Amino acid sequence: MFSVSREIDFCYGHRLLDYQGKCRHLHGHNGKVLITIEASGLDEQGMVLDFADIKHVVHRWIDENLDHRMILHRDDPVVAALKEAGEPMCLLEGNPTAENIAKLIFDFAVAQGYPVVEVRFWETPGCFATYCREDTDRGGAEPPPGGGKAPGRAR
């Protein structure tokens, strides 16, 4: 199996609803995405996929939809004020956690026809979340009791 990966950096703001830690407040991050695409064979040029194709499609989508935007839960009370002020936003059905942002980018890339196996999203240099294709055995552990939602969990 062959794989290629591309890193994409972008800046965004967010906050988490119904959360007791620091991330309940509006704040920003310099995020990094690593998209990994796999194929059992190579194309005529000897590639899984041209890195430029990932840039032109996925990077452009991130630039247009996530970069320098507030990524918020659709029901966040601050949405109305930001909308009235003309601030750019990306609204999600759930909290804009690193896990949900990784899945958002994964789903977009798959919808474009890319054979994505994994999206890794760094919220900070030391903290990342990964969303993998379901048929990929990554040997992940079961989540802790309570689904990993410990109060005050550092983000």
Tokens of 5: 């990966």
Concerning whether 68 is annotated as a catalytic residue, the answer is yes
Strand partners, 10: 31
Q: Which of 7, 56, 68, 127 is catalytic?
A: 68
- Number of CB atoms found within 10 A of residue 76's CB: 20
| Per-position DSSP letters for the chain, written without gaps between them | -EEEEEEEEEEEEE--TT--SGGGS-EEEEEEEEEEEEESS--TTS-SS-HHHHIIIIIHHHHHHTTTEEEEETT-TTHHHHHHTT--EEEESS---HHHHHHHHHHHHHHTT--EEEEEEEEETTEEEEEE-TT----PPPPPTTTT--TT---
Known catalytic residue at 123: yes
Q: Which residue in the list 14, 73, 123, 132 is annotated as catalytic?
A: 123
Task: Indicate which residue of 14, 23, 29, 118 is catalytic.
Answer: 23
**11 catalytic residue (yes or no):** no
Q: Catalytic residue positions?
A: 23, 68, 123
